Structure 1
């Protein structure tokens, strides 16, 4: 994989601000040709640097409850539990962590009843889960994946 340079990082920053920015506009901002922008974006997508996705607003989709669930698993069961969790549409993130919890899950629900039902009827059925620590999000300040920072492209 080719190392990202200053131009690649600038392209990524522009796309993070507006994923629908036309290549001609990006080229104009950076003083490059549209073909250069098109080929750099194609290369970064092909190399898995990023992918274009649609990002929905959970509130607008009727998903008013976000939970962070810390899970303790039986020794040797972490991968199997993570695989099982990954199949649920309510779960948007599953990660293995050091510390108090073996796995941390982020999940979205229509309401508290749906969350309670998920924990009691779904999580309780997954072999290998020892304990679940459920926390509700009260207020969200930021929700983005890896960002290109301004100081990276100056």
Structure 2
């Protein structure tokens, strides 16, 4: 059941924002059949209560970053401070504490192997109360990023979704509208959008020193070549979901692509990727409750005949989602610099 705190209009608005995070309220209102004021009021309530954040993020594959899935084993009393210290880093996202209370899993990205070495080989292994670190390089993403679990909700009709969706680009180098290399001003623009994907043009212009028309053109170019996409970080209970679980699967290489795509098509899968390591397929699944997770594992996962081994790790606390960490009270725990 959906949470009584949110209704179908809230869910439709979240779905609309996932399809186009910067869509004008007037266009969303027209598609949803309500007034502009109603959409603006609903969005303001969701945003100010922390239920929804629209984030402008960069696609690591397009900008050339390497993505790692990092598993950190801690002493029993260390998981929370280690996770919080990881979350404060600008190169991490999706920091979770898993069900045994001693393991932290996080996504980190770096522009070079040297940057990856700094965290994975020098900082984490020498962090007090960390007893083990393993990292898996993400080789291919089957689902996640701009696609979003919300797009599997079916809240909007296909016709409504088509009216809101941003046309896809092939992102090929040198194609018309390609954004080209990122400049210092681009990075200032992207830093603002990572905190608030719907930041007004006036704020973006002030951050970059550009005119509003230049900001508008640059946004269009960055979106067109796939550098920039928009994601909605929302409370799971808006859609009646309450349990997030990380799956680590082992699949023969010859079956990896087909199994990964089949996994990505599951309504419960929020993220799926191929990785290095013995468990070469990783997924994050979101279910209503424990009973729903059991049903999912014994039906949809059980039907994936290529899976040779599976490790299931429910998330007991999310410390960080996509994008920058929202402001929090000072915490003295730190990773070594």
Q: TM-score, normalised by structure 1?
A: 0.88
Q: Verify: 1:65 aligned to 2:243, yes or no.
A: yes
The structure 2 residue matched to 1:74, chosen from 224, 234, 252, is: 252
Alignment of 1:101-120 (within 5 A): 101-120=279-298
Measured on the aligned residues, the alpha-carbon RMSD in Å equals: 1.8
Give, in whole Å, the separation in 1 of the partners of 2:320 and 2:259.
28
Paired positions, count: 147
Give, in whole Å, the separation in 2 of the partners of 1:87 and 1:120.
17
Alignment of 1:101-140 (within 5 A): 101-140=279-318
Q: Verify: 1:86 aligned to 2:245, yes or no.
A: no
Greater strand share, 1 or 2?
2
Please tell me whether the aligned partners of residues 194 and 323 of structure 2 are also in contact (alpha carbons under 8 angstroms).
no
CA deviation map 1:30-58 (0-9, x unaligned): 33210111111111001100123333221
Q: TM-score, normalised by structure 2?
A: 0.42
Alignment of 1:20-35 (within 5 A): 20-35=198-213
Change (3 A) 1:85 1:145: farther
Give, in whole Å, the separation in 2 of the partners of 1:104 and 1:3.
31
Can you give the 5+ residue segments of structure 2 that lack an aligned partner in the other structure? 1-178, 326-337
> Which moved further from structure 2: 67-76 or 106-115?
67-76
Can you give the 5+ residue segments of structure 1 that lack an aligned partner in the other structure? 148-154
**Stretches of 4+ moved more than 4 A in 1?**
none
